[in-house]
Amino acid sequence: MSEIIILAIESSCDDTSAAVCVNGKMLSNVMANQKIHEQYGGVVPELASREHVKNIIPVVFEAMKRSGIDKKELSAVAFTRGPGLMGSLLAGGMFAKSFAQALDIPLIDVHHMQAHVLAHFIDDPKPSFPFLCLTVSGGHTQIVLVKGYLNMEVIGQTLDDAAGEAFDKTAKLLNLPYPGGPLIDKFAREGNPNAFKFSEPQIDHLNFSFSGLKTNILYFLQKEIKSNPDFIQAHLNDICASVQNSIVSILMKKLKRATEETGIKQVAISGGVSANSELRKQLLIYGEKHGWETYIPEFQYCTDNAGMIAITAYFKYLANDFCPIEIPIQARMEM
């Protein structure tokens, strides 16, 4: 069989990314982060779309250049169809559609959350089926039962905010720029995780909730600032460590329960929050103690990236799963 060469584009939120892979091997994975949102404490959808339109051509050209592949050699073009921000998805989707049309090659639509899970198949070691994947990002928090490359079932999910949102909204309360997750992670390294206690949500089964924690942190800070206006500056490391500890405990608790209920001991994490050092540490420690085989993606494949879109598209190509050019972009999309 001849080589399968895929150009993939990811633009679901605030990162513009393009990747090229040959038979599932990544040749390039280029990213343009949008700094513009830092000052607003969150992604501003209209600004994100405009940045994607600015970045998409240079990012794709750079990914092609680094891969050493000529556009005439491409077998297919893949793109994130959803879920995500409508304007952002449209910018990447329309580019992908036009490129595929111009080259007269097939188009492959990719589900963003499925791609976060399949990021585990870019490099070794790779999990085998079935495995559990905790997919934690700025928009999602899910426990996925992965039965095959394209056969996944969400067995638990958040009923309100995502774990990444809990990090980012806490960071905003602490006057830190967006995205706050990596900064909380950084300050937490110097802090005491047991300095402050926050309420733990009592949610049924394998589902999550983070909105109560957010309110709890808000009221806690308001109360402390009343008696000491410099409370945040004076205790930043301890606050970050305690908040991070709460979020990671909630995630680990449900993950443990999922392994008990399913009997599956291959456990993976993915999505932006899987870059969190405390989550990675706790997964490894607990996993080793309880005989889990744990899988953590390389940093570049944790947060949004086109590499994960490319690998998913590769499996879809092998399954002859292409899409028509008229396929609509979808901001909301079931897995």
Residue 9 dihedral angles phi and psi, to the nearest 5°: -130, 135
Interface with Zn ion by CB under 5 A: which range of 61-69, 81-89, 129-137, 318-326?
A: 129-137
Contact predicate 88/49, CB 8 Å = yes
Cα 63 to Cα 297: distance, rounded to the nearest angstrom = 21
Contact predicate 96/109, CB 8 Å = no
- Smallest distance from the beta carbon of 44 to ligand KG4, in angstroms? 15
Contact track, ligand KG4, 134-153, x by CB under 6 A: ---xxx--------------
**Spatial CA neighbour of 60 closest among 102, 32, 90:** 32
Candidate list 79, 167, 208, 317; residue touching ligand KG4; CB under 6 A? 167
Between the CA of residue 202 and those of 110, 144, 243, what are the distances in Å? Answer: 34, 21, 17
Contact between 168 and Zn ion by CB under 5 A: the answer reads no
Interface with Zn ion by CB under 5 A: which range of 51-59, 173-181, 229-237, 297-305?
A: 297-305
Contact between 304 and Zn ion by CB under 5 A: the answer reads yes
Cα 111 to Cα 82: distance, rounded to the nearest angstrom = 6
**Spatial CA neighbour of 311 closest among 22, 16, 11:** 22
For Zn ion, the closer of residues 85 and 217 by Cβ is 85
Contact between 13 and ligand KG4 by CB under 6 A: the answer reads yes
Interface with ligand KG4 by CB under 6 A: which range of 46-54, 180-188, 211-219, 252-260?
A: 180-188
User: Which residues contact Zn ion by CB under 5 A?
Assistant: 137, 304
User: Which residues contact ligand KG4 by CB under 6 A?
Assistant: 13, 137-139, 164, 167-168, 179-182, 185, 271-273, 275-276, 303-304
